[in-house]
Structure 1
Amino acid sequence: MTGASVEEGAATPRHVAIIMDGNGRWAARQGLPRVAGHRAGAEAVRKTLKAAVKAGVECLTLYAFSSENWRRSEEEVTDLKGLMRYYLERELDELAGQGVRLDFIGDPSAFGPELWKKLEAARDRTRDNDRLHLVIALNYGSRAEIVEATRAIARDVAAGNLDPDAVDETHLDAAMQTAALPPLDLLIRTSGEIRLSNFLLWQAAYAELMFVDTLWPDFDGDALDEALAAFSRRQRRYGGR
Protein backbone atom coordinates (compact mmCIF):
# COMPACT_ATOMS: atom_id res chain seq x y z
CA MET A 1 0.00 0.00 0.00
CA THR A 2 1.24 3.47 -0.74
CA GLY A 3 1.59 5.97 2.08
CA ALA A 4 -1.06 8.62 2.65
CA SER A 5 -0.64 11.19 5.38
CA VAL A 6 -3.52 12.84 7.18
CA GLU A 7 -4.00 16.36 5.91
CA GLU A 8 -2.75 19.09 8.23
CA GLY A 9 -5.59 20.24 10.45
CA ALA A 10 -7.75 17.21 9.62
CA ALA A 11 -9.49 15.41 12.44
CA THR A 12 -7.44 12.61 13.97
CA PRO A 13 -9.51 9.97 15.73
CA ARG A 14 -8.91 9.93 19.47
CA HIS A 15 -9.64 6.22 19.78
CA VAL A 16 -8.84 3.63 17.11
CA ALA A 17 -9.53 -0.09 17.46
CA ILE A 18 -8.24 -2.85 15.19
CA ILE A 19 -9.36 -6.43 14.66
CA MET A 20 -6.01 -7.93 13.65
CA ASP A 21 -7.09 -10.70 11.28
CA GLY A 22 -5.24 -12.77 8.71
CA ASN A 23 -2.14 -14.16 10.44
CA GLY A 24 -3.00 -17.76 9.56
CA ARG A 25 -3.81 -17.02 5.93
CA TRP A 26 -0.62 -14.99 5.58
CA ALA A 27 1.43 -17.92 6.89
CA ALA A 28 -0.36 -20.38 4.59
CA ARG A 29 0.39 -18.23 1.55
CA GLN A 30 4.05 -18.19 2.56
CA GLY A 31 4.08 -21.96 3.11
CA LEU A 32 4.87 -21.40 6.80
CA PRO A 33 3.33 -22.71 10.04
CA ARG A 34 0.61 -20.59 11.68
CA VAL A 35 2.94 -19.48 14.47
CA ALA A 36 5.07 -17.72 11.84
CA GLY A 37 2.02 -15.68 10.92
CA HIS A 38 1.54 -14.70 14.56
CA ARG A 39 5.19 -13.65 14.79
CA ALA A 40 4.80 -11.51 11.68
CA GLY A 41 1.59 -10.11 13.15
CA ALA A 42 3.48 -9.04 16.27
CA GLU A 43 5.88 -7.07 14.06
CA ALA A 44 2.87 -5.42 12.42
CA VAL A 45 1.74 -4.32 15.90
CA ARG A 46 5.08 -2.59 16.43
CA LYS A 47 4.86 -0.71 13.13
CA THR A 48 1.24 0.29 13.67
CA LEU A 49 1.92 1.44 17.20
CA LYS A 50 4.74 3.72 16.09
CA ALA A 51 2.51 5.22 13.41
CA ALA A 52 -0.31 5.77 15.90
CA VAL A 53 2.03 7.60 18.27
CA LYS A 54 3.32 9.75 15.43
CA ALA A 55 -0.21 10.57 14.21
CA GLY A 56 -1.33 11.69 17.65
CA VAL A 57 -3.89 8.95 18.26
CA GLU A 58 -4.84 9.06 21.93
CA CYS A 59 -5.96 5.46 22.40
CA LEU A 60 -5.33 2.29 20.35
CA THR A 61 -7.25 -0.88 21.21
CA LEU A 62 -6.09 -4.14 19.62
CA TYR A 63 -8.10 -7.38 19.51
CA ALA A 64 -5.33 -9.85 20.31
CA PHE A 65 -7.15 -12.91 21.70
CA SER A 66 -10.89 -13.40 21.79
CA SER A 67 -12.78 -15.57 24.26
CA GLU A 68 -13.57 -17.80 21.26
CA ASN A 69 -9.88 -18.32 20.42
CA TRP A 70 -9.65 -21.00 23.10
CA ARG A 71 -11.28 -23.28 20.51
CA ARG A 72 -8.05 -23.30 18.54
CA SER A 73 -5.59 -26.15 18.92
CA GLU A 74 -3.72 -26.43 22.20
CA GLU A 75 -0.46 -26.07 20.27
CA GLU A 76 -1.52 -22.77 18.70
CA VAL A 77 -2.79 -21.35 22.00
CA THR A 78 0.51 -22.31 23.66
CA ASP A 79 2.43 -20.61 20.83
CA LEU A 80 0.33 -17.46 21.22
CA LYS A 81 0.97 -17.33 24.95
CA GLY A 82 4.68 -17.79 24.34
CA LEU A 83 4.69 -14.96 21.81
CA MET A 84 2.87 -12.68 24.23
CA ARG A 85 5.48 -13.40 26.87
CA TYR A 86 8.37 -12.94 24.44
CA TYR A 87 7.22 -9.67 22.92
CA LEU A 88 6.14 -8.27 26.26
CA GLU A 89 9.66 -8.77 27.60
CA ARG A 90 11.27 -7.55 24.38
CA GLU A 91 9.14 -4.47 23.74
CA LEU A 92 8.39 -3.16 27.23
CA ASP A 93 11.41 -0.85 27.41
CA GLU A 94 10.58 0.63 24.01
CA LEU A 95 6.92 1.09 24.94
CA ALA A 96 7.89 2.88 28.12
CA GLY A 97 10.39 5.04 26.23
CA GLN A 98 7.72 6.09 23.72
CA GLY A 99 5.41 7.22 26.50
CA VAL A 100 2.93 4.39 25.87
CA ARG A 101 0.59 3.34 28.66
CA LEU A 102 -0.26 -0.35 28.46
CA ASP A 103 -3.64 -1.65 29.59
CA PHE A 104 -5.93 -4.64 29.08
CA ILE A 105 -9.60 -5.50 28.69
CA GLY A 106 -11.10 -8.97 28.89
CA ASP A 107 -9.84 -11.53 31.39
CA PRO A 108 -6.08 -12.02 30.92
CA SER A 109 -5.85 -13.93 34.19
CA ALA A 110 -7.10 -16.97 32.24
CA PHE A 111 -3.63 -17.24 30.68
CA GLY A 112 -2.21 -18.42 33.99
CA PRO A 113 -0.52 -16.73 36.96
CA GLU A 114 2.95 -16.44 35.43
CA LEU A 115 1.88 -14.54 32.32
CA TRP A 116 -0.76 -12.55 34.18
CA LYS A 117 1.89 -11.40 36.67
CA LYS A 118 4.05 -10.15 33.79
CA LEU A 119 1.08 -8.36 32.22
CA GLU A 120 0.22 -6.67 35.52
CA ALA A 121 3.84 -5.61 36.02
CA ALA A 122 3.94 -4.09 32.53
CA ARG A 123 0.71 -2.22 33.18
CA ASP A 124 2.02 -0.91 36.49
CA ARG A 125 5.31 0.20 34.98
CA THR A 126 3.66 2.25 32.24
CA ARG A 127 0.59 3.56 34.10
CA ASP A 128 1.90 7.16 34.27
CA ASN A 129 2.72 7.42 30.54
CA ASP A 130 0.39 9.68 28.60
CA ARG A 131 1.47 9.83 24.97
CA LEU A 132 -0.70 6.90 23.83
CA HIS A 133 -2.97 4.51 25.70
CA LEU A 134 -2.46 1.02 24.24
CA VAL A 135 -5.26 -1.36 25.23
CA ILE A 136 -4.88 -5.04 24.44
CA ALA A 137 -8.06 -7.15 24.39
CA LEU A 138 -7.11 -10.55 25.81
CA ASN A 139 -9.63 -13.31 26.40
CA TYR A 140 -12.22 -10.68 25.50
CA GLY A 141 -15.77 -11.07 24.24
CA SER A 142 -18.13 -8.12 23.84
CA ARG A 143 -21.31 -10.02 24.64
CA ALA A 144 -19.79 -11.24 27.92
CA GLU A 145 -18.73 -7.66 28.70
CA ILE A 146 -22.29 -6.39 28.12
CA VAL A 147 -23.74 -9.19 30.27
CA GLU A 148 -21.36 -8.40 33.14
CA ALA A 149 -22.13 -4.67 32.88
CA THR A 150 -25.83 -5.50 33.07
CA ARG A 151 -25.25 -7.67 36.12
CA ALA A 152 -23.35 -4.84 37.84
CA ILE A 153 -26.27 -2.48 37.28
CA ALA A 154 -28.71 -5.15 38.46
CA ARG A 155 -26.73 -5.54 41.68
CA ASP A 156 -26.94 -1.79 42.28
CA VAL A 157 -30.70 -1.88 41.70
CA ALA A 158 -31.13 -4.89 44.02
CA ALA A 159 -29.11 -3.14 46.72
CA GLY A 160 -31.38 -0.13 46.52
CA ASN A 161 -28.61 2.13 45.25
CA LEU A 162 -30.20 2.76 41.86
CA ASP A 163 -33.76 3.33 40.71
CA PRO A 164 -34.42 0.90 37.83
CA ASP A 165 -36.36 3.60 35.99
CA ALA A 166 -33.26 5.80 36.13
CA VAL A 167 -31.06 3.30 34.29
CA ASP A 168 -29.99 4.69 30.93
CA GLU A 169 -27.19 4.37 28.38
CA THR A 170 -24.88 6.39 30.61
CA HIS A 171 -25.08 3.79 33.36
CA LEU A 172 -24.34 0.94 30.97
CA ASP A 173 -21.48 2.84 29.36
CA ALA A 174 -19.96 3.47 32.79
CA ALA A 175 -20.14 -0.24 33.62
CA MET A 176 -18.14 -1.27 30.54
CA GLN A 177 -14.47 -2.20 30.78
CA THR A 178 -13.77 0.68 28.40
CA ALA A 179 -15.42 3.29 30.63
CA ALA A 180 -12.15 5.17 31.17
CA LEU A 181 -11.34 5.32 27.44
CA PRO A 182 -12.39 7.95 24.90
CA PRO A 183 -15.43 7.05 22.78
CA LEU A 184 -14.50 4.76 19.90
CA ASP A 185 -14.03 6.76 16.69
CA LEU A 186 -12.65 4.27 14.18
CA LEU A 187 -12.72 0.47 14.03
CA ILE A 188 -10.57 -1.27 11.41
CA ARG A 189 -10.67 -4.94 10.44
CA THR A 190 -7.99 -6.45 8.25
CA SER A 191 -8.01 -9.50 5.93
CA GLY A 192 -11.19 -8.69 3.96
CA GLU A 193 -13.63 -10.17 6.49
CA ILE A 194 -16.68 -7.94 7.05
CA ARG A 195 -17.89 -8.59 10.59
CA LEU A 196 -17.12 -7.46 14.14
CA SER A 197 -16.58 -10.92 15.64
CA ASN A 198 -17.88 -10.02 19.11
CA PHE A 199 -15.53 -7.03 19.48
CA LEU A 200 -16.62 -3.72 21.05
CA LEU A 201 -20.24 -4.15 19.96
CA TRP A 202 -21.56 -1.52 22.36
CA GLN A 203 -18.69 0.90 21.78
CA ALA A 204 -18.91 0.69 17.97
CA ALA A 205 -22.48 2.01 17.78
CA TYR A 206 -21.38 5.29 16.14
CA ALA A 207 -17.79 4.46 15.24
CA GLU A 208 -16.62 4.65 11.66
CA LEU A 209 -15.99 1.14 10.33
CA MET A 210 -13.30 0.21 7.81
CA PHE A 211 -12.76 -3.23 6.35
CA VAL A 212 -9.51 -3.60 4.43
CA ASP A 213 -8.24 -6.54 2.37
CA THR A 214 -4.70 -6.38 3.75
CA LEU A 215 -3.74 -9.37 5.89
CA TRP A 216 -2.63 -8.24 9.33
CA PRO A 217 1.09 -9.12 8.99
CA ASP A 218 1.22 -6.81 5.92
CA PHE A 219 -0.46 -3.92 7.78
CA ASP A 220 2.02 -1.17 8.66
CA GLY A 221 2.40 2.53 9.34
CA ASP A 222 1.44 3.49 5.80
CA ALA A 223 -1.72 1.39 6.04
CA LEU A 224 -2.71 3.08 9.28
CA ASP A 225 -1.99 6.50 7.78
CA GLU A 226 -4.29 5.65 4.87
CA ALA A 227 -7.05 4.65 7.27
CA LEU A 228 -6.64 7.85 9.27
CA ALA A 229 -6.71 9.92 6.07
CA ALA A 230 -9.92 8.17 4.97
CA PHE A 231 -11.42 8.82 8.40
CA SER A 232 -10.63 12.52 8.11
CA ARG A 233 -12.69 12.68 4.90
CA ARG A 234 -15.82 11.14 6.39
CA GLN A 235 -18.71 13.18 7.76
CA ARG A 236 -19.92 11.84 11.08
CA ARG A 237 -23.62 12.61 11.50
CA TYR A 238 -24.61 10.50 14.53
CA GLY A 239 -28.07 9.97 13.09
CA GLY A 240 -28.48 13.56 11.92
CA ARG A 241 -28.80 14.72 8.33
Structure 2
Amino acid sequence: MALFKTKESIVIDDAQLKIPQHIAIIMDGNGRWAKKRMMPRAAGHKAGMNTVKRISSSASELGVKVLTLYAFSTENWSRPSDEVNFLMQLPINFFNDFVPDLIKNNIRVAITGNIEALPNATRNAVLQAVEQTAGGTGMILNFAMNYGGQVEIVNATKVIAEAVEKGQINIADINSTTFATALQTAHLGDLAAPDLMIRTSGELRLSNFLPYQAAYSELYFTDVLWPDYSADDLLLAVQSYTKRDRRFGGLKDESEK
Protein backbone atom coordinates (compact mmCIF):
# COMPACT_ATOMS: atom_id res chain seq x y z
CA MET A 1 0.00 0.00 0.00
CA ALA A 2 1.79 3.11 -1.23
CA LEU A 3 1.90 6.38 0.64
CA PHE A 4 2.29 9.76 -1.06
CA LYS A 5 3.92 12.68 0.72
CA THR A 6 2.90 16.10 -0.54
CA LYS A 7 4.70 19.45 -0.31
CA GLU A 8 2.59 20.23 2.75
CA SER A 9 3.90 17.08 4.48
CA ILE A 10 0.48 15.44 4.37
CA VAL A 11 0.71 11.68 4.08
CA ILE A 12 -2.02 10.19 1.93
CA ASP A 13 -2.89 6.52 1.80
CA ASP A 14 -3.56 5.75 -1.85
CA ALA A 15 -6.29 3.31 -0.83
CA GLN A 16 -8.29 6.28 0.47
CA LEU A 17 -7.89 8.44 -2.63
CA LYS A 18 -10.93 8.96 -4.83
CA ILE A 19 -9.40 9.22 -8.28
CA PRO A 20 -11.28 11.49 -10.71
CA GLN A 21 -12.07 9.70 -13.94
CA HIS A 22 -11.54 12.89 -15.94
CA ILE A 23 -9.21 15.71 -14.93
CA ALA A 24 -9.07 18.90 -16.99
CA ILE A 25 -6.24 21.39 -16.49
CA ILE A 26 -5.89 25.04 -17.51
CA MET A 27 -2.11 25.20 -17.83
CA ASP A 28 -1.47 28.81 -16.86
CA GLY A 29 1.63 30.72 -15.83
CA ASN A 30 4.25 29.93 -18.46
CA GLY A 31 4.83 33.58 -19.27
CA ARG A 32 5.07 34.66 -15.63
CA TRP A 33 7.44 31.80 -14.89
CA ALA A 34 9.75 33.05 -17.65
CA LYS A 35 9.42 36.70 -16.60
CA LYS A 36 10.44 35.89 -13.02
CA ARG A 37 13.65 34.44 -14.44
CA MET A 38 14.16 37.30 -16.91
CA MET A 39 13.75 34.85 -19.79
CA PRO A 40 11.65 35.14 -22.97
CA ARG A 41 8.08 33.83 -22.83
CA ALA A 42 9.09 31.06 -25.21
CA ALA A 43 11.29 29.61 -22.48
CA GLY A 44 8.24 29.38 -20.23
CA HIS A 45 6.23 27.56 -22.89
CA LYS A 46 9.10 25.13 -23.44
CA ALA A 47 9.32 24.45 -19.70
CA GLY A 48 5.55 23.99 -19.65
CA MET A 49 5.85 21.33 -22.34
CA ASN A 50 8.12 19.33 -20.03
CA THR A 51 5.48 19.65 -17.32
CA VAL A 52 2.91 18.16 -19.69
CA LYS A 53 5.10 15.07 -19.98
CA ARG A 54 5.52 14.85 -16.21
CA ILE A 55 1.85 15.32 -15.32
CA SER A 56 0.61 13.05 -18.09
CA SER A 57 2.70 10.22 -16.71
CA SER A 58 1.63 10.96 -13.12
CA ALA A 59 -2.07 11.08 -14.00
CA SER A 60 -1.79 7.80 -15.87
CA GLU A 61 -0.07 6.15 -12.90
CA LEU A 62 -2.84 7.39 -10.60
CA GLY A 63 -5.47 5.69 -12.75
CA VAL A 64 -7.05 8.78 -14.32
CA LYS A 65 -9.00 7.76 -17.43
CA VAL A 66 -8.99 11.12 -19.27
CA LEU A 67 -6.61 14.05 -18.87
CA THR A 68 -7.69 17.09 -20.88
CA LEU A 69 -5.13 19.88 -21.22
CA TYR A 70 -6.01 23.37 -22.47
CA ALA A 71 -3.17 23.73 -24.94
CA PHE A 72 -4.32 26.57 -27.22
CA SER A 73 -7.54 28.55 -27.15
CA THR A 74 -9.38 30.31 -29.96
CA GLU A 75 -8.42 33.57 -28.22
CA ASN A 76 -4.70 32.77 -28.23
CA TRP A 77 -4.48 33.72 -31.92
CA SER A 78 -4.50 37.36 -30.77
CA ARG A 79 -1.07 36.99 -29.16
CA PRO A 80 2.05 38.32 -30.93
CA SER A 81 2.77 36.38 -34.12
CA ASP A 82 6.21 35.20 -32.96
CA GLU A 83 4.66 33.68 -29.82
CA VAL A 84 1.85 32.04 -31.80
CA ASN A 85 4.40 30.59 -34.23
CA PHE A 86 6.39 29.18 -31.31
CA LEU A 87 3.24 27.68 -29.79
CA MET A 88 2.42 26.05 -33.12
CA GLN A 89 5.87 24.46 -33.19
CA LEU A 90 5.56 23.04 -29.67
CA PRO A 91 3.19 20.17 -30.55
CA ILE A 92 5.57 19.09 -33.31
CA ASN A 93 8.50 18.94 -30.88
CA PHE A 94 6.38 17.42 -28.12
CA PHE A 95 4.99 14.54 -30.15
CA ASN A 96 8.29 13.81 -31.91
CA ASP A 97 9.87 13.36 -28.50
CA PHE A 98 7.09 11.95 -26.33
CA VAL A 99 5.04 9.59 -28.54
CA PRO A 100 7.32 6.57 -27.85
CA ASP A 101 6.75 7.06 -24.10
CA LEU A 102 3.01 7.45 -24.65
CA ILE A 103 2.91 4.17 -26.57
CA LYS A 104 5.03 2.46 -23.91
CA ASN A 105 2.63 3.67 -21.20
CA ASN A 106 -0.47 2.67 -23.20
CA ILE A 107 -1.67 6.30 -23.39
CA ARG A 108 -3.85 7.36 -26.31
CA VAL A 109 -3.77 10.90 -27.72
CA ALA A 110 -7.07 12.61 -28.58
CA ILE A 111 -7.95 16.12 -29.70
CA THR A 112 -10.80 18.49 -28.86
CA GLY A 113 -11.08 21.65 -30.95
CA ASN A 114 -10.92 22.84 -34.53
CA ILE A 115 -7.55 21.56 -35.70
CA GLU A 116 -8.39 22.27 -39.34
CA ALA A 117 -7.41 25.89 -38.70
CA LEU A 118 -3.93 24.93 -37.44
CA PRO A 119 -0.84 25.25 -39.67
CA ASN A 120 -0.31 22.16 -41.82
CA ALA A 121 2.82 20.98 -40.00
CA THR A 122 1.15 21.32 -36.60
CA ARG A 123 -2.04 19.59 -37.73
CA ASN A 124 -0.09 16.76 -39.33
CA ALA A 125 1.98 16.21 -36.17
CA VAL A 126 -1.20 16.08 -34.09
CA LEU A 127 -2.99 13.68 -36.41
CA GLN A 128 0.08 11.46 -36.62
CA ALA A 129 0.26 11.26 -32.82
CA VAL A 130 -3.42 10.32 -32.69
CA GLU A 131 -2.81 7.59 -35.25
CA GLN A 132 0.38 6.29 -33.63
CA THR A 133 -1.20 5.97 -30.20
CA ALA A 134 -4.60 4.72 -31.39
CA GLY A 135 -3.94 1.26 -29.94
CA GLY A 136 -3.59 2.57 -26.41
CA THR A 137 -6.20 1.25 -24.01
CA GLY A 138 -5.07 3.21 -20.96
CA MET A 139 -5.48 6.89 -20.21
CA ILE A 140 -6.71 9.27 -22.92
CA LEU A 141 -4.46 12.34 -23.17
CA ASN A 142 -6.88 14.84 -24.67
CA PHE A 143 -5.48 18.14 -25.94
CA ALA A 144 -7.85 21.09 -26.34
CA MET A 145 -6.30 22.86 -29.32
CA ASN A 146 -7.84 25.87 -31.04
CA TYR A 147 -10.71 25.34 -28.64
CA GLY A 148 -13.23 27.86 -27.36
CA GLY A 149 -16.20 26.85 -25.26
CA GLN A 150 -18.65 29.49 -26.46
CA VAL A 151 -17.86 28.77 -30.11
CA GLU A 152 -18.31 25.07 -29.39
CA ILE A 153 -21.80 25.66 -27.96
CA VAL A 154 -22.83 27.91 -30.86
CA ASN A 155 -21.60 25.35 -33.39
CA ALA A 156 -23.39 22.51 -31.60
CA THR A 157 -26.60 24.54 -31.72
CA LYS A 158 -26.15 24.99 -35.48
CA VAL A 159 -25.61 21.26 -35.97
CA ILE A 160 -28.80 20.43 -34.08
CA ALA A 161 -30.77 23.18 -35.83
CA GLU A 162 -29.68 21.82 -39.20
CA ALA A 163 -30.74 18.31 -38.19
CA VAL A 164 -34.18 19.67 -37.25
CA GLU A 165 -34.41 21.60 -40.51
CA LYS A 166 -33.65 18.42 -42.47
CA GLY A 167 -36.26 16.49 -40.54
CA GLN A 168 -33.68 14.17 -38.98
CA ILE A 169 -34.88 14.96 -35.45
CA ASN A 170 -37.83 16.74 -33.87
CA ILE A 171 -37.47 19.71 -31.56
CA ALA A 172 -39.17 17.71 -28.82
CA ASP A 173 -36.43 15.10 -29.09
CA ILE A 174 -33.62 17.52 -28.21
CA ASN A 175 -32.21 16.81 -24.76
CA SER A 176 -28.89 16.88 -22.91
CA THR A 177 -27.76 13.70 -24.66
CA THR A 178 -28.54 15.16 -28.09
CA PHE A 179 -26.58 18.27 -27.22
CA ALA A 180 -23.60 16.35 -25.82
CA THR A 181 -23.23 14.36 -29.02
CA ALA A 182 -22.95 17.63 -30.99
CA LEU A 183 -20.13 18.97 -28.82
CA GLN A 184 -16.44 18.59 -29.63
CA THR A 185 -15.99 16.28 -26.64
CA ALA A 186 -18.45 13.71 -28.00
CA HIS A 187 -15.53 11.39 -28.74
CA LEU A 188 -15.03 11.00 -24.97
CA GLY A 189 -18.49 9.51 -24.51
CA ASP A 190 -19.56 9.17 -20.88
CA LEU A 191 -16.23 10.66 -19.76
CA ALA A 192 -16.74 14.01 -21.51
CA ALA A 193 -17.52 15.93 -18.32
CA PRO A 194 -14.46 16.57 -16.11
CA ASP A 195 -14.80 15.45 -12.52
CA LEU A 196 -12.02 17.80 -11.47
CA MET A 197 -10.87 21.01 -13.16
CA ILE A 198 -7.53 22.47 -12.11
CA ARG A 199 -6.16 25.92 -12.92
CA THR A 200 -2.58 26.84 -12.12
CA SER A 201 -0.96 30.27 -11.51
CA GLY A 202 -3.54 31.73 -9.12
CA GLU A 203 -6.11 32.96 -11.64
CA LEU A 204 -9.70 32.27 -10.57
CA ARG A 205 -11.60 31.85 -13.83
CA LEU A 206 -12.29 29.13 -16.41
CA SER A 207 -11.37 31.21 -19.48
CA ASN A 208 -13.93 29.70 -21.85
CA PHE A 209 -12.73 26.16 -21.12
CA LEU A 210 -15.38 23.43 -21.31
CA PRO A 211 -18.22 25.64 -19.96
CA TYR A 212 -20.96 23.11 -20.78
CA GLN A 213 -19.02 20.03 -19.72
CA ALA A 214 -17.77 21.60 -16.47
CA ALA A 215 -21.24 22.41 -15.12
CA TYR A 216 -20.68 20.08 -12.13
CA SER A 217 -16.90 19.81 -12.13
CA GLU A 218 -15.08 20.28 -8.86
CA LEU A 219 -12.83 23.33 -9.22
CA TYR A 220 -9.31 23.53 -7.80
CA PHE A 221 -7.08 26.59 -8.04
CA THR A 222 -3.41 26.75 -7.14
CA ASP A 223 -0.82 29.54 -7.16
CA VAL A 224 1.81 27.20 -8.60
CA LEU A 225 2.90 28.26 -12.08
CA TRP A 226 2.48 25.54 -14.68
CA PRO A 227 6.21 24.94 -15.38
CA ASP A 228 6.67 24.26 -11.64
CA TYR A 229 3.63 22.00 -11.32
CA SER A 230 4.62 18.58 -9.99
CA ALA A 231 3.22 15.14 -9.24
CA ASP A 232 2.90 16.24 -5.61
CA ASP A 233 0.79 19.22 -6.68
CA LEU A 234 -1.47 16.90 -8.65
CA LEU A 235 -1.84 14.69 -5.59
CA LEU A 236 -2.86 17.70 -3.51
CA ALA A 237 -5.62 18.42 -6.01
CA VAL A 238 -6.78 14.79 -5.94
CA GLN A 239 -6.70 14.84 -2.14
CA SER A 240 -8.93 17.92 -2.16
CA TYR A 241 -11.27 16.20 -4.61
CA THR A 242 -11.37 13.10 -2.40
CA LYS A 243 -12.67 15.15 0.53
CA ARG A 244 -15.50 16.73 -1.42
CA ASP A 245 -19.11 15.56 -1.43
CA ARG A 246 -20.45 15.58 -4.99
CA ARG A 247 -24.25 15.72 -4.89
CA PHE A 248 -25.03 17.21 -8.33
CA GLY A 249 -27.75 19.42 -6.89
CA GLY A 250 -29.36 16.67 -4.84
CA LEU A 251 -29.18 15.66 -1.19
CA LYS A 252 -27.13 12.82 0.15
CA ASP A 253 -29.71 11.60 2.65
CA GLU A 254 -32.96 12.57 4.30
CA SER A 255 -31.19 14.29 7.23
CA GLU A 256 -29.92 17.03 4.90
CA LYS A 257 -33.39 18.21 3.84
**TM score, norm. by length of structure 2:** 0.90
Please give the root-mean-square deviation of Cα atoms over the aligned residues, in Å: 1.3
Q: Tell me if 1:101 matches 2:108.
A: yes
C-alpha distance in 2 between matches for 1:160 and 1:11:
44
Counterpart in the other structure of 1:173? 180
Structure 2 contact 92–121 (Cα < 8 Å) conserved: no
1:208-219 to 2 correspondence within 5 Å? 208-219=218-229
Counterpart in the other structure of 1:205? 215
The 4+ residue runs of structure 1 with deviation greater than 2 A are 3-7
1:75-224 to 2 correspondence within 5 Å? 75-181=82-188, 182=191, 183-224=193-234
Q: Could you tell me how far 1:119 is from its partner in structure 2? A: 1.1
Moved more, 115-124 or 51-60: 115-124
Q: Residue 31 of structure 1: SS of its match in structure 2?
A: coil
Q: Residue 148 of structure 1: SS of its match in structure 2?
A: helix
C-alpha distance in 2 between matches for 1:125 and 1:204:
29
Letter in 2 for 1:161: Q
Q: Could you tell me how far 1:223 is from its partner in structure 2? A: 0.7
Cα offsets for 1:61-82 (capped at 9, x unmatched): 0001000000000010111112
Greater RCO (Cα-Cα under 8 Å, separation 6 or more): 1
Q: Residue 187 of structure 2: SS of its match in structure 1?
A: coil
Structure 1 contact 7–229 (Cα < 8 Å) conserved: no
Letter in 1 for 2:61: K
C-alpha distance in 1 between matches for 2:17 and 2:202:
27
Taking a change above 3 Å as real, the CA distance of residues 96 and 219 of structure 1, as seen in their structure-2 partners, is same
C-alpha distance in 2 between matches for 1:171 and 1:16:
23
Letter in 2 for 1:171: T
Moved more, 111-120 or 157-166: 111-120
Q: Could you tell me how far 1:109 is from its partner in structure 2? A: 2.5
Letter in 2 for 1:66: S
Which of 209, 220, 238 is residue 228 of structure 1 equivalent to? Answer: 238
Unaligned runs of 5+ in 2: 1-5, 252-257
Structure 1 contact 6–232 (Cα < 8 Å) conserved: no
Q: Could you tell me how far 1:51 is from its partner in structure 2? A: 0.8
Counterpart in the other structure of 2:68? 61
Q: How many residues align?
A: 241
Counterpart in the other structure of 1:21? 28
C-alpha distance in 1 between matches for 2:16 and 2:81:
48
C-alpha distance in 1 between matches for 2:60 and 2:13:
13
Structure 1 contact 6–226 (Cα < 8 Å) conserved: no
Cα offsets for 1:7-34 (capped at 9, x unmatched): 4143210000000000000100011000
**TM score, norm. by length of structure 1:** 0.96
Unaligned runs of 5+ in 1: none
C-alpha distance in 2 between matches for 1:165 and 1:94:
47
Cα offsets for 1:139-196 (capped at 9, x unmatched): 1001111111111111110011111122111111111111232031000000100111
